[in-house]
Amino acid sequence: MKKLGRLVRVQAVEPLDKFIVRVSFKDRSQKEIDLEKFLRGEIFEPIRKDPPVFRSVKVIGGTIGWDSGADIDPDVLYYDLKPAWMEEEMKT
């Protein structure tokens, strides 16, 4: 497991191609992240199936999210952690 450090906050997000976004963090670092693996489960299904909805991603409360209430933990994005559904599969 990667060691978590300081408090991670997203400053900006820009949708690029398919499920890829450019995320700018408050520490001035940037990452291009393919969100496809994170878009699992009931709350993410409409986002996964509708490109305009996916592209409506924005910064909400220091992370990325959508108007539906779906969001992704900023630590997961910054430290390239596994999505929760992958962690659950590994336990079984």
Residues 6+ apart with CB under 8 A from 83: 37, 38, 40, 76
Instruction: Report the chain's mean pLDDT, rounded to a whole number.
Output: 89
- Residue 92 — very low, low, confident or very high, per pLDDT cuts 50/70/90? low
- What confidence tens digit (pLDDT) does each residue in 10-38 have? 999 999 999 999 999 999 999 999 999 99
The reported pLDDT for the residue numbered 1 is 44
Higher per-residue pLDDT: 90 or 30: 30
Beta bridge partners of 32: 22
CATH architecture of 10-91: 2-Layer Sandwich (3.30)
- Residue 83 — very low, low, confident or very high, per pLDDT cuts 50/70/90? confident
- Residue 71 — very low, low, confident or very high, per pLDDT cuts 50/70/90? very high
